[in-house]
A and B are shown apart, each in its own frame.
Chain A
């Protein structure tokens, strides 16, 4: 059965450092991989989308990589700030069918 894992339930890093979150999947061939941010008591907010034929995508301090051989995506936040503290979810999409979310990683950026 399909399985999506995110490296850890929680991740603590120091302000200014780069946060790296991992999303691994099995038994799935996604056409797209997306990353969302969710704050407590709120709905997720879309951050970045990367296609299966793209290796890397950047947006301001965010960078996403997608390795379909390893079945893995890495999500980086450079120069992290306390305001980046939130839960980050990866999501796999296969042409609109079978849109699946990972369990999320709760990131805490310590001042």
Chain B
């Protein structure tokens, strides 16, 4: 089956620093990838849709200057949390669709970010 790899799985950083999270589709090309945020015991909240070769589409309330998304190739999207603060601590998950809009999402294993 399709595999999406996300790295790192855990990261601890100090306030004010930036953190980059990578999401790779290992065995398929993904023109679109999705970034989610998940708080404990809550569901997935879509942050943005990453489009290869163009700007990401952000959901309402998500700061695009805070969460920088780059989708430079058909197999790699990155999310950079800039000037991180403790309230940015969360579980970030990426996903991608293997084929068309009616195919299921394949998820990475998430990144646990802790900002001290």
Contact = CB atoms under 8 A, between A and B. Distances in A.
B43 A43 contact: no
Interface string A24-50: 000000011010100001111110010
Interface in A79-111: 89, 91, 93, 95-96, 99-104, 106
Interface stretch (B64-72, B73-81, B105-113): B105-113
A31 B107 contact: no
B107 A44 contact: yes
Give the interface size class of chain B: 20 to 34
Q: Is the interface of A mostly helix, strand, loop or mixed?
A: strand
Given A43-B6, A43-B109, A101 B104 contact: no
B41 to A, nearest CB: 8
B95 to A, nearest CB: 7
Q: Is the interface of B mostly helix, strand, loop or mixed?
A: strand
B53 to A, nearest CB: 18
Given A43-B6, A100-B46, 20 more contacts: A34-B104, A36-B105, A41-B91, A43-B4, A43-B93, A43-B108, A43-B109, A44-B93, A49-B104, A89-B43, A89-B44, A91-B105, A95-B102, A96-B100, A96-B102, A99-B34, A99-B46, A99-B105, A102-B43, A106-B41
B105 A46 contact: yes
A12 B101 CA distance: 35
5 contacts: A41-B112, A43-B6, A46-B105, A96-B101, A99-B105
Given A46-B106, A89-B44, A95 B93 contact: no
Interface in B1-54: 4, 6, 34, 41-44, 46
Given A101-B44, A103-B43, A43 B107 contact: yes
Given A99-B46, A103-B42, A104-B43, A42 B102 contact: no
Given A41-B112, A42-B110, A44-B107, A93 B102 contact: yes
A14 B72 CA distance: 49
